[in-house]
Amino acid sequence: MPSHRPCWGMGFAALFLALIFTGRAAFAETVEAKLPSGIVADASFHAGKAGMPALLLVHGFLQTRSAPPLSRLAETLSDAGYTVLSPTLSLGISRRSHSLACEAVHTHTLEGEASEISFWVDWLVRKHYPNIVLIGHSTGSKSILFYLQKTPNPAVRKAVLASLVPDNGTDIDREKAHRMLKAQAKGKEDLQRFSMGYCRNNYMSTPYAYLSYAVYDADRTLGLLDKAKVPVEIILGGADTLMEKGWPQKALKHGASITLIKSAGHFFDGPQEFDFADAVEAQLKSLRPARQP
Amino acid sequence: MRIRPKLRGLWPFSIGIYALGLIAVVLLALSALIWAVQTKVEAVKREAQMHDQAAAKIELDKAVAHTVTELRRLALHATQGDEIRQQLADPAYYLYWRNYRLLHGAALPSFTRAGEVYDRRGRALAEHPLDNMPQALAQNPKSFYRREGSSDYLYLFLPILAEENNPSSVQGYVGFKFDFLQALKNEEQFAYIKTDSIRLQKESYSGEQPRLTYRLKERPERSLLLDIIAGFKQQIVLIFIALSFALFFLLNYLLAVPLRRLSRHIDALGEGQGGILQENFAKSLPVAELEKVRQSLNDYQNKLESMNSSLNQKNDELWTLAHHDPLTGIYNRRCFEDDWAHVLSVANGHRLDVAFSLFDCDNFKAINDTYGHDVGDKVIQTTAHLLQSKLRHGDRLYRLGGGEFAAIFLDSDPKFVLQVMERCLLSVSEFDFTAMGVKEPVRISIGLAHTPGTEEENLATLPKQADIALYHAKRPGRPKIAVYDDSMIAETDIIFSTRHNHAVFEALASGKGLEIHYQPVVDLGRGAVKYYEALVRIRDGDELLSPPAIFPIIEARRIEVEFDIAIIERITQDITQGGIPRGTGISLNISGPSAVNPTILNLIQTLSIHLGQYAIIVEVTETALITQLHQASHNLNELRKAGFLIALDDFGSGYSSLGYITSMPVDIVKFDISMIRHLMEESRQSIIVAQLAEMLAKTGYQLVAEGIEDEHTLEQVKRMGFSCGQGYLFGRPERACRDLAQAKMPV
Is B460 in the same domain as B573? no
Give contacts of A90 with chain B, Cβ < 8 Å: none
Inter-chain contact A98–B82, Cβ cutoff 8 Å? yes
Helix B560-576 and helix B598-606: axis angle, to 10°?
0
- Alpha helices by DSSP H, listed for B403-455, are 414-430
Is B660 in the same domain as B536? yes
What chain B residue is nearest to A202 in terms of C-alpha separation? Answer: B100
The per-residue pLDDT for A57 is 96
Inter-chain contact B97–A104, Cβ cutoff 8 Å? yes
Tell which residue, B464, B545, B460, B468, has the closest CA to residue B500: B545
Residue A183 burial by CB count (10 A; 0-12/13-18/19+): exposed, middle or buried? exposed
Tell which residue, B688, B687, B645, B647, has the closest CA to residue B669: B647
Inter-chain contact A104–B86, Cβ cutoff 8 Å? yes
Q: Compute the distance between CA of residue A125 and CA of residue A53 in angstroms, rounded to an integer.
A: 11
The per-residue pLDDT for B745 is 55
Of B82, B96, B100, the CB nearest to A93: B82
Interior/surface letters B535-549, b for 16+ CB within 10 angstroms, e for the rest: bbbbebeeeebeeeb
The per-residue pLDDT for B289 is 80
Is B627 in the same domain as B697? yes
Q: Which residues pair with B724 in a beta bridge?
A: B523, B704
Question: CATH code at B336?
Answer: 3.30.70.270
Domain of B606 in residue numbering reads as 513-744
Task: Find the mean pLDDT for residues A205-233.
Answer: 90
The residue out of B217, B242, B262 marking a domain boundary is B217
CA A7 to chain centre: 22
Q: Are B185 and B170 in contact (CB under 8 A)?
A: no
With cut-offs at 50, 70 and 90, classify the pLDDT of residue A23. very low
Inter-chain contact B83–A93, Cβ cutoff 8 Å? yes
- Best of A105, A190, A193, A201 to mutate (most B CBs within 10 Å, chain B): A105
Is B487 in the same domain as B618? no
Q: Compute the distance between CA of residue B34 and CA of residue B41 in angstroms, rounded to an integer.
A: 10
Strand order in the sheet with B444-452: B331-332, B397-401, B404-410, B353-361, B444-452, B481-483
Inter-chain contact A105–B162, Cβ cutoff 8 Å? no
Give contacts of A204 with chain B, Cβ < 8 Å: 93, 96, 100
Q: Compute the distance between CA of residue B661 and CA of residue B621 in angstroms, rounded to an integer.
A: 11
Say if A191 is an interface residue toward chain B (CB within 8 Å): yes
Inter-chain contact B96–A97, Cβ cutoff 8 Å? no
Question: CATH code at A238?
Answer: 3.40.50.1820
Say if A95 is an interface residue toward chain B (CB within 8 Å): yes
Is B483 in the same domain as B593? no
Domain presence at residue A27: yes
Of A92, A100, A204, the CB nearest to B90: A92
Q: Is the peptide bond before B12 cis (omega within 30 degrees of 0)?
A: yes
Q: Compute the distance between CA of residue A28 and CA of residue A25 in angstroms, rounded to an integer.
A: 5
Number of domains forming the structure of chain A: 1
Domain presence at residue A174: no
Of A93, A191, A204, the CB nearest to B86: A93
Give contacts of B90 with chain A, Cβ < 8 Å: 92, 107
Domain presence at residue A23: yes
The per-residue pLDDT for A8 is 36
Q: Compute the distance between CA of residue B306 and CA of residue B311 in angstroms, rounded to an integer.
A: 8
Percentage helix, strand, coil for chain B under 3-state DSSP, each rounded to 5 = 55, 20, 25
Determine the residue type at A260: L
The upper half-sphere exposure of residue A165, i.e. CA atoms within 13 Å in the direction of its Cβ, equals 25
User: DSSP code of B607?
Assistant: G
pLDDT tens-digit series, residues B103-138 = 887 678 888 889 999 999 999 999 989 888 999 998
Least confident stretch, A140-144, A223-227, B268-272: B268-272
Give contacts of B103 with chain A, Cβ < 8 Å: none
Number of domains forming the structure of chain B: 3
If you average pLDDT over every residue of chain B, what do you get?
82
Is B631 in the same domain as B546? yes
Inter-chain contact B89–A39, Cβ cutoff 8 Å? yes
- Best of B77, B79, B80, B82 to mutate (most A CBs within 10 Å, chain A): B82
What chain B residue is nearest to A91 in terms of C-alpha separation? Answer: B86
Of A93, A101, A107, the CB nearest to B85: A93
DSSP B515-582: EEEEEEEEETTTTEEEEEEEEEEEEETTEEE-HHHHHHHHHHHT-HHHHHHHHHHHHHHHHHTT-S-T
The per-residue pLDDT for B6 is 65
Domain presence at residue A110: yes
Domain presence at residue B300: no
The per-residue pLDDT for B740 is 56
The residue out of B217, B236, B257 marking a domain boundary is B217
- Is residue B660 helix, strand or coil? helix
Which ipTM was obtained for this model? 0.84
Give contacts of B96 with chain A, Cβ < 8 Å: 105, 191, 204
Give pairs for B103-107: CB < 8 Å, separation 24+. Answer: B103/B130, B105/A101, B105/A103, B107/B74, B107/B77, B107/B78, B107/B81
Give contacts of A92 with chain B, Cβ < 8 Å: 86, 89-90
Domain presence at residue B288: no
Q: Compute the distance between CA of residue B114 and CA of residue B97 in angstroms, rounded to an integer.
A: 13
Q: Compute the distance between CA of residue B617 and CA of residue B228 in angstroms, rounded to an integer.
A: 133
H or E stretch covering B144? strand B144-148
pLDDT tens-digit series, residues B514-525 = 889 999 998 888
Domain presence at residue A194: no
Say if B282 is an interface residue toward chain A (CB within 8 Å): no
Inter-chain contact B82–A92, Cβ cutoff 8 Å? no
Say if A41 is an interface residue toward chain B (CB within 8 Å): no
Q: Which residues pair with B462 in a beta bridge?
A: none
Say if A34 is an interface residue toward chain B (CB within 8 Å): no
Say if A103 is an interface residue toward chain B (CB within 8 Å): yes
Least confident stretch, A16-25, B362-371, B690-699: A16-25
Q: Compute the distance between CA of residue A34 and CA of residue B396 in angstroms, rounded to an integer.
A: 166
Whether B361 shows a pLDDT value over 50: the answer reads yes
Q: Compute the distance between CA of residue B446 and CA of residue B422 in angstroms, rounded to an integer.
A: 9
Phi, psi (rounded to 5 degrees) for B224: -65, -45
Least confident stretch, A13-17, B39-43, B576-580: A13-17
The per-residue pLDDT for B495 is 59
Is B609 in the same domain as B530? yes
Q: CA torsion, points B717, B719, B724, B730, in degrees to nearest 10? A: 60
Domain presence at residue B252: no
Domain presence at residue B295: no
Question: CATH code at B543?
Answer: 3.20.20.450
Phi, psi (rounded to 5 degrees) for B425: -60, -40
Q: Which residues pair with A137 in a beta bridge?
A: A162
pLDDT tens-digit series, residues A259-273 = 999 899 999 988 889
- Best of B79, B80, B86 to mutate (most A CBs within 10 Å, chain A): B86
Say if A39 is an interface residue toward chain B (CB within 8 Å): yes
Domain presence at residue A184: no
Domain of A128 in residue numbering reads as 8-168+216-285
Say if B100 is an interface residue toward chain A (CB within 8 Å): yes
Q: Are B181 and B199 in contact (CB under 8 A)?
A: yes
Q: Which of residues 254-293 of A touch B (CB under 8 A)?
A: none
Tell which residue, B520, B562, B426, B559, has the closest CA to residue B708: B520
Say if B101 is an interface residue toward chain A (CB within 8 Å): yes
Inter-chain contact B97–A97, Cβ cutoff 8 Å? no
Whether B35 shows a pLDDT value over 60: the answer reads yes
Whether A18 shows a pLDDT value over 70: the answer reads no
Question: Chain B closest CA to A241's CA: distance in Å?
Answer: 28
Give contacts of A98 with chain B, Cβ < 8 Å: 81-82
End-to-end CA distance of chain B: 111
The Cβ of residue A46 has, within 10 Å, a number of other Cβ atoms equal to: 23
Is B450 in the same domain as B554? no
Mention every residue, 6+ apart, whose C-beta is less than 8 A from residue B600: B561, B564, B565, B568, B590, B594
Inter-chain contact A93–B93, Cβ cutoff 8 Å? no
Inter-chain contact B83–A100, Cβ cutoff 8 Å? yes
The per-residue pLDDT for B175 is 92
Domain presence at residue A209: no
What chain A residue is nearest to B88 in terms of C-alpha separation? Answer: A93
Is B375 in the same domain as B517? no
pLDDT tens-digit series, residues B684-736 = 877 888 888 888 888 888 899 988 888 888 888 888 888 899 888 888 888 88
Inter-chain contact B96–A191, Cβ cutoff 8 Å? yes
Question: Chain A closest CA to B80's CA: distance in Å?
Answer: 9
Say if A239 is an interface residue toward chain B (CB within 8 Å): no
The per-residue pLDDT for B731 is 86
Say if A30 is an interface residue toward chain B (CB within 8 Å): no
Is B529 in the same domain as B477? no
Q: Which residues pair with B406 in a beta bridge?
A: B358, B398
Give contacts of B99 with chain A, Cβ < 8 Å: none
Inter-chain contact B90–A104, Cβ cutoff 8 Å? no
The residue out of B187, B217, B247 marking a domain boundary is B217
Phi, psi (rounded to 5 degrees) for B659: -60, -40
Question: Chain A closest CA to B53's CA: distance in Å?
Answer: 46
Interior/surface letters A192-229, b for 16+ CB within 10 angstroms, e for the rest: bbbbbbebeeebbbbbbbbbbbbebbbeebbebbeebe
Give contacts of A96 with chain B, Cβ < 8 Å: 82
What chain A residue is nearest to B171 in terms of C-alpha separation? Answer: A94
- Alpha helices by DSSP H, listed for B432-479, are 456-474
What chain A residue is nearest to B86 in terms of C-alpha separation? Answer: A93
Inter-chain contact A96–B97, Cβ cutoff 8 Å? no
Helix B498-510 and helix B560-576: axis angle, to 10°?
50
pLDDT tens-digit series, residues B169-181 = 898 999 999 998 8
Whether A138 shows a pLDDT value over 70: the answer reads yes
- Decide which of A114 and B548 is more confident: A114
Q: Which residues pair with B404 in a beta bridge?
A: B360, B401
Give contacts of A95 with chain B, Cβ < 8 Å: 82, 85, 162
What chain A residue is nearest to B161 in terms of C-alpha separation? Answer: A95
Give contacts of A97 with chain B, Cβ < 8 Å: 82
Is B557 in the same domain as B675? yes
| Interface size, chain A vs chain B, as Cβ–Cβ contacts under 8 Å | 46
Domain presence at residue A178: no
